[in-house]
Structure 1
Amino acid sequence: MFKSILLACTLLVTACVNAATATNIASAAEKVSPLMPGLTIPALTLKDKDGNNVVLAERFAEKTTVLIVYRGGWCPYCSKQLANVQKIEAELAELGAQIIAVSPDNPEKLAESKIDSPNYQLLSDDSLILSQALGLAFYLDDKTATIYRNKLGVNFVSLDGKAKVALPVPAVFVIDKKGLVHFQYANPNYKVRLTENLLLAAVKSVSEQ
């Protein structure tokens, strides 16, 4: 009997742990709650295009960071945003800032990107741990999810026991060496992105502190 109780408790704890991996995914893009300025980015580890582990806290400690969260390389609005930020990469570097762009794309997909710079790194958040920690993850409705999967190559993922599609709301954070957020821009309307001039101004304000 004791063994049965112990097994039941173990299964219950395991279920709770598994469920916790998908508890911060909103039901719609308009219902996300992005991490606000003044808060610290959680210490997490992601993978680069070669599958190597990258500890975010260690990267943040190197210099001011522009953290871009995007939906994936399949998204034309995201690709345009990454390209536009690439145009001001030199200016950001002069301000002492690096660029880290994160998406649900797996490392193999990231390897297809033409962005190749030591100061502009793409990382994989294919398990959505960072998107959830930043309060950006949301579930697509079934109709939209099917369209995205069939026409844009987005795969269904199993989260919290449900075969659904979850994506991050596109966002930009400016973070200091301690991982503290100084600036945040997140918009449920994925077609509207932060301008390069505003991003430069935000980074400049952090570098002058």
Structure 2
Amino acid sequence: MRSILIALTLTVTQLLSFSASAAQATNISEHPEQVAPLLPGLTAPTLTLQDNNAKAVDLAKLYQDKTTVLVVYRGGWCPYCSRQLAGLQKIEKQIVELGAQIVAVSPDSPQALSKSNISSPNYRLLSDDQLALTQALGLAYYLDDKTAKAYRDRMGVQFVDLDGKSRVALPVPAVFVIDKAGLVQFQYANPNYKVRLEESVLLAAVRAASNLK
């Protein structure tokens, strides 16, 4: 009897440990065209993520500090995302002059983020490897099996499983401008991951949000 109880205890412990580390599927669309991104005027999610040093970062505190350009991208392995992040670096000075900061979030792990060459107090990379923020923003969608296999085989991309299942998900690339009250003032999301927001449009959105009383 004692050995059975020990075995059951170990099994429960293992299940609890797995549940704590596995991403939870609560708001994931079947296709990128079906996502429903958070709209302007709504309150941005205030979750806690990790930076490239695995240090906890409270989004609520970030929002209160400055107007925030929240960029959600697919990962450092995506060439379109890398190009977008590089473009943001070019206009970082202008964004800072408008009293804003850049926060870029992806499913990449903190370890993967540590390999980035972006280093700035006004431009932070955060890990959403549990897809909590991606789902809260209404951006998550499931990859079809063929695409997931192609990404893994050709690009070496590792995605977290969801609820212990083999299906994997990504965010639709998006940009939000969030004011210091935590309200979304601007939103851009495109299910076509090859099309990204023009930098001039982003600057105009940041300027408008920064001038709000």
Is TM more than 0.5 here? Answer: yes
Q: CA deviation at 1:158?
A: 2.0
Aligned residue identity for 2:24: T
Choose 36-45 or 159-168, whichever is displaced more.
Answer: 159-168
CA contact (8 A) 2:98 2:206 kept: yes
* Poorly superposed stretches of 4+, deviation over 4 Å: 17-20
- Tell me which residue corresponds to 1:99: 102
CA distance in 1, matches of 2:23, 2:99: 37
CA distance in 1, matches of 2:189, 2:54: 28
Aligned residue identity for 2:180: K
CA distance in 2, matches of 1:111, 1:20: 21
Q: CA deviation at 1:23?
A: 1.8
CA contact (8 A) 1:155 1:165 kept: no
Structure 1's unaligned 5+ residue stretches are 1-10
> How big is each residue's C-alpha offset from its partner over 1:59-84, in whole Å with a ceiling of 9 and x where there is no partner?
11000000000000000000000000
What SS does the corresponding residue of 2:149 show, helix, strand or coil? helix
User: What are the residue-to-residue correspondences of 1:59-70 with 2, within 5 Å?
Assistant: 59-70=62-73
CA contact (8 A) 1:171 1:186 kept: yes
1:72–1:20: structure 2 CA closer, same or farther, 3 Å change rule?
A: closer
- Tell me which residue corresponds to 1:7: none
Aligned residues with identical type, % of pairs: 66
CA contact (8 A) 1:46 1:125 kept: yes
- Tell me which residue corresponds to 1:86: 89
> How big is each residue's C-alpha offset from its partner over 1:130-187, in whole Å with a ceiling of 9 and x where there is no partner?
0000000110000010001111222142213321221000000000012100000000
- Tell me which residue corresponds to 2:78: 75
- Tell me which residue corresponds to 2:191: 188
Is 1:109 aligned with 2:112? Answer: yes
CA distance in 2, matches of 1:26, 1:153: 24
Q: CA deviation at 1:21?
A: 2.6
CA RMSD of aligned residues (A): 1.7
> How big is each residue's C-alpha offset from its partner over 1:72-125, in whole Å with a ceiling of 9 and x where there is no partner?
000000000000010000000000000000000000110000100000000000
CA contact (8 A) 1:28 1:138 kept: yes
CA distance in 2, matches of 1:73, 1:132: 19
Please point out which of 6, 30, 34 is paired with 2:33. Answer: 30
1:146–1:206: structure 2 CA closer, same or farther, 3 Å change rule?
A: same
Is 1:53 aligned with 2:56? Answer: yes
Please point out which of 134, 137, 150 is paired with 1:134. Answer: 137
CA distance in 1, matches of 2:122, 2:105: 14
CA distance in 2, matches of 1:143, 1:25: 18
CA distance in 1, matches of 2:56, 2:42: 24
Normalising by structure 2, report the TM-score.
0.88
- Tell me which residue corresponds to 2:43: 40
Normalising by structure 1, report the TM-score.
0.90
Aligned residue identity for 1:127: Q
Structure 2's unaligned 5+ residue stretches are 1-11
